[in-house]
Amino acid sequence: MADSRYVLMHKNTPVADLQLDTDTGVIRSVGHVYNALHVPVGIPVKKGVIDRSALNTWWTGRAIPASRDRIRDALRELELASTQLLLDKCLGLSLSDQYWICPTSSGVRWEEVNFFQNAFSDDVGNILLGRGSSSGRVSLMSPDNTSDGWLRKKWTIIDGKRCLIKGGSGVNQQEPYNEVIASELMEKLNIPHVPYRIIMQGDYPYSVCEDFIDADTELISADYIMKSQKKANHLTTYQHYLNCCAAFGISNAQQAVDQMIVIDYLLANTDRHYNNFGAIRNANS
């Protein structure tokens, strides 16, 4: 069983030494912790030791889910056994946060590799959308390696802005239209939101939105916010989430959550879960 050595980084702040199993892509061991304050939210650190199991769940959770539409076809084209094996190919970099893994002693800096400030390959995204690669040699340096959700999607750069293109499913291909309807409803209700629009590629509709995270911010899911504190048995998960937000100094959490619940009701959205909403934090402070 072979392994590779990395340092988990938060922008240019070293967090901890890691060993990754090259056969499975999982974290085999966690070594020295350089900065416990920069360990991802919700990952326990006791007496200076990071909970390896929790960190491994967080790490493998960055990978494309196995439920992604047509992911098996994409993996065959990429000649990989699992989506976890894509993570180290892009150094774990994402367009949702500022965490990444730096090969030990490489001297690579975040400014040189992050996807907010540097170009990235369309190859993986095109394969995930079923279009195939435009070249014989596929580049795996892509934020698509760390994109979540079960619908086909890809990141691309449009007029200098990082944008997410997302497809639909089934015969009706309804989901892209749902995104536009949701954003138009929130526009009419004066609720802050990310605007969506429709583009047609071939015979299929795709929704397009700009990334709402930038080089100085990051998205923390509700799931990991709630893992930052132990939940009391008498509390609902709703109240526990609000309590955790209050502990982080988020003052408008209840209004935002209540607006989300009402919008979900109006749209008959049944896909709300603790990994598809959360809070944005300053990645520097």
Task: Tell me if 80 sits within 8 A of 70, measured CB to CB.
Answer: no
> Looking at the predicted structure, is the pLDDT value of residue 264 above 80?
yes
pLDDT band at 69 (very low <50, low <70, confident <90, very high): confident
Q: Which residue has the tokens 């170009």?
A: 119
How many angstroms separate the CA atoms of 140 and 121, rounded? 7
pLDDT in tens, 199-257: 998 889 999 999 999 999 999 999 999 999 999 999 999 999 999 999 999 989 999 99
pLDDT of residue 70: 83
**Burial profile 241-250: b = 16 or more Cβ within 10 angstroms, e = fewer:** bbebbeeeeb
Distance from C-alpha of 4 to C-alpha of 100, rounded to nearest angstrom? 14
User: 138 pLDDT band (50/70/90 cuts)?
Assistant: confident
The model carries a pTM of 0.93
pLDDT tops 70 at residue 134: no
pLDDT at 203: 87
Helix (H, G, I), strand (E, B) or coil at 233: coil
Residue 22 carries which side chain, given as an amino acid letter?
Answer: T
Write the CA distances from 80 to 22, 71, 135, 197, integer angstroms.
12, 11, 18, 33
Q: Which of 97, 111, 101 is nearest to 281 (CA)?
A: 97
pLDDT tens profile 108-118: 999 999 999 99
